[in-house]
Amino acid sequence: MTQATAARRPTKAWWKELWVQVMVAMALGIVLGVWRPDLATQMQPFGDAFIKAIRMLIAPIIFCTVVNGIAHMADMAKVGRVAIKAIVYFEVVTTFALIIGLVAVNLWQPGAGMNVDVSTINPSVIEPYVKQTSAVGFVPFLMNIIPNTFVGAFAEGHILQVLFLSVMCGFALIWLGDKAKPMTDVLEVAARMVFGLVRIVMWAAPLGAFGAIAFTVGKFGVGSLSSLGKLIGGFYVTCIIFIAIVLGPIAALCGANLLKLIRYIWEELLVCIATTSSETVLPRMISKLEALGCEKSIVGLVIPTGYSFNLDGTCLYLATAAVFLAQATNTHFDVSHQIGLLLILLVTSKGAAGIAGAAFVVLAATLAAGGTIPVASVALVLGVHRLMSQALTPTNLVGNAVATIVIARWENALDMTQMRRVLDGEPAPTA
């Protein structure tokens, strides 16, 4: 493209940018939440509807992307190699997250001096979450990867089940060889159609952000912030520190500037913060990372897997909340106990895929497995869990973006020139 052609390209008006619209919607939601909390809580269906609309597209996107990617790889050994590298990377980085969370919460001690009597806590408020802890654990997690039926995986929307089926179907198409081309062509067209649906649904992102933020501020707002402000503020700082001192250097080693990467996925981060769900932007993350220069097959494998195995923000939350509850209830919790907690979290933090309110459920499961901190004490953070989720979900998102770049670079499947151009602000290439 010549400079003259580029100059003639129409510039998108600033107010049409998605991130601008989402920020305005979030600001309006905050104002409504402070001004009319009762009315603001009634805005929740807007946020929930947007999340449901995106979730209905996640399974077909993963299936089409992964199957096509593996079929075009034509190398099952490469698929296994990428998966092993990804799992190793995920385990190392999430361990760092757990350690940083433990160190930070011990330094600022947000629960010290609260002197909470556990016997005064009403256990009924956490019963819905405690009942789900039976589904958390390494063996149930592995069993849950295998769906009961082929269609059931798509109907229930379990990411790992859909990923499992996608890998199996991809292998089958490799074995079919040239006979599989008509099917891969159909899947490629289907993927384009579903991504088109994503673009349509994303028009409602500002409305979804407005509803979610209005509900959060209206229901939990000022009171929650004042009573547990030290915990919430400290957790936000911990997330920023982790991104800066762990993810920043990792991205730099791969030739990516983390601040530029965050700017590149800024719209997705805002939607994440507003909806407290990283699933809402999974389809767009797949598209953006492919446009960034990561090979399509790598993105298709790493991103869906990372949504269950590479939850850096969730690990920070679990370590922080567990030690906070020990401090708040004056539970003896020394270094040996915290090392035990770290070992338990290495398993339980991977075992809640597909469970609603996964981070909170895993927290209850971890306390039950540890047997030291009273499980009933999780009620102390129930009211502010959503506020803390607005830090942990974008941290998860940045972590998975960096992970995809790392694995792509590790596999020599990253176009460095294209990545630098896109991160410098040049328009991303379109398919």
Let me know if residue 371 belongs to a domain.
yes
421 CB-near residues (< 8 Å, 6+ apart): none
Whole-angstrom Cα distance, residue 277 to residue 389?
A: 8
Closest CA to 25 of 40, 37, 38: 40
As a whole number, mean pLDDT of residues 192-205 equals: 89
Give the helix ranges, DSSP H, for 109-136. Answer: 127-130
Half-sphere exposure of 186 (CA within 13 A, CB side): 6
Model confidence band, residue 3 (pLDDT cutoffs 50, 70, 90): very low
125 occurs within a structural domain: yes
246 lies in some domain? yes
pLDDT for position 426: 83
Q: Does residue 116 belong to any structural domain of this protein?
A: yes
- In this prediction, what percent of the chain has a pLDDT beyond 90? 35
Any domain includes 100: yes
Contacts of 7 (CB under 8 A, 6+ apart): none
Residue 7 covered by a domain: no
Instruction: Quickly state the pLDDT bin for 223 (edges 50, 70, 90).
Output: low
| Averaged pLDDT of the chain | 84
Residue 9 lies in a domain: no
Q: What per-residue confidence (pLDDT) applies to 129?
A: 58
Give the pLDDT score at 240. 96
Question: What was the pLDDT predicted at 221?
Answer: 66
Q: Tell me how crowded residue 215 is: count the other CB atoms within 10 A of its CB.
A: 24
Note whether 388 and 273 are within 8 A (CB).
no
Average pLDDT over residues 174-184: 88
Domain residue limits at 204:
16-423
Q: Please state which of the ranges 48-52, 125-129, 134-138, 182-186 shows the lowest mean pLDDT.
A: 134-138
10 within some domain: no
Residue 64 neighbours by CB under 8 Å, 6+ apart: 187, 188, 190, 191, 194
- pLDDT of 1 over the 50 cut: no
Structural domain total, the chain: 1
Q: pLDDT (tens digit, 9 = 90+) per residue, 368-397?
A: 777 788 888 888 887 777 788 889 999 999
Tell me the pLDDT tens digit for each residue of 74-124: 677 788 899 899 999 999 999 999 999 999 999 989 888 888 777 776 666
- pLDDT: which is higher, 426 or 121: 426
Residue 99: other Cβ atoms inside 10 A: 16
Helical spans, DSSP H, in 177-204? 181-201
Residue 2 has pLDDT above 50, yes or no: no
Rounded to whole angstroms, the Cα distance separating 353 from 361 reads 11
User: pLDDT tens digit string along 232-256?
Assistant: 899 999 999 999 999 999 999 999 9
**Which CATH number do you get for residue 197?**
1.10.3860.10
Give the type of residue at 99: I
pLDDT at 351 > cutoff 70: no
Q: How far apart are CA 2 and CA 425, in angstroms?
A: 17
Per-range mean pLDDT, top range of 12-21, 104-113, 338-347, 413-422: 413-422
One-letter amino acid for residue 338 of the chain: Q
Does residue 5 register a pLDDT over 70? Answer: no
Better pLDDT: 375 or 63: 63
Confidence of residue 128 (pLDDT cuts 50, 70, 90): low
Q: Is the pLDDT of residue 293 over 80?
A: yes
Q: How confident is the model at residue 126 (pLDDT cuts 50, 70, 90)?
A: low
Q: Are 99 and 202 in contact (CB under 8 A)?
A: no
- Name which residue leads in pLDDT, 193 or 351: 193
pLDDT tens per residue across span 14-43: 677 888 888 899 889 989 988 998 999 899
User: What's the mean pLDDT in 287-294?
Assistant: 94
Q: Which two structure tokens, joined as six digits, stand for 182?
A: 């008509």
